[in-house]
Chain A
């Protein structure tokens, strides 16, 4: 089964929405409020596996499929996802180094790639993608920020649909520190052999003053 190649998201696709009223734990609710302030993770940090696969409508992904590993690059994220396909398990919890994108293992269920991810570090942007300093704005931007903690467990089912022209990723999120119940979304990517993934060096020419950014409040915690 070949998933390899470049694919692009589009905000017009009928992605299923992120939950607007998630069943937060106390910690999750407080963390969601914090993520809607200027005191949020650094804007150039990797996005974590959920926001990664959620897509932005601005940047494509590139999937490289080898016999024992699948690597997914995302134009705007410096670190790729590595999905190990060699039958290994996750390392024991006490040996797992927490990372932005976590530890991912995959297997095929027919033509569907089944991916399991643990070991995230809880320091990335919200699972629904909002960025540093992206504060709530009445009438414009009111969606709750969806935190992911170090207890995040992501299960994905990725397959081709639409005659092979689209990738569908059904993303199931369990995070008992943040949510009392799991939730899931479906996100779509259009395969685009006609475009290339470009270099994106997030730290290169950051003119935060000219953007009017708060240059003191957006440090990684």
Chain B
């Protein structure tokens, strides 16, 4: 966010505090990042959170469908996303915090688009989301 240095009343020093989203992220392993290369099966550009369904080769000739959670649509629209940024069949790379329980779910850190651009989850990094 652009902040104006001339405004004296509001120092822009970073103050550690959790960003308060609508639910806890305690069920994702925020200490681990994993990278998945795959293709988009479906984008659910929905509230309260956007989900990327990603088909990832499992190394045994098959594929695993991953569900990757991003922020709310409003958050994504304000940070460079459009509802049609990703489409079915797009080849992407996703960096995500995986679910602690081993299921094929993750909290999005960033996605590398087919055109090489990188987009985030719409808000602060998931590591800041511990409070919500």
Contact = CB atoms under 8 A, between A and B. Distances in A.
Contacts of B99: 212
Contacts of A205: 44, 46-49, 51
B4 A165 contact: yes
A56 interface: yes
Interface in B16-30: 17-24, 26-28
Interface of B is mostly: loop
Contact of B128 (A10, A11, A201): A11
Interface stretch (A88-96, A104-112, A131-139): A131-139
A13 B47 contact: no
B39 interface: no
Residue among B13, B18, B24, B51 with most chain A CB within 10 A: B24
Contacts of A13: 10, 12, 15
B85 to A, nearest CB: 16
Interface residues of B, number: 50
A221 interface: no
A212 B20 contact: no
Interface string A19-61: 0000000000000000000000001100000010010111110
A131 B24 contact: yes
Interface of A: 8, 10-15, 17, 43-44, 51, 54, 56-60, 75-76, 129-135, 137, 140-141, 143, 161-163, 165-166, 168, 188, 190, 195, 197-208, 210-213
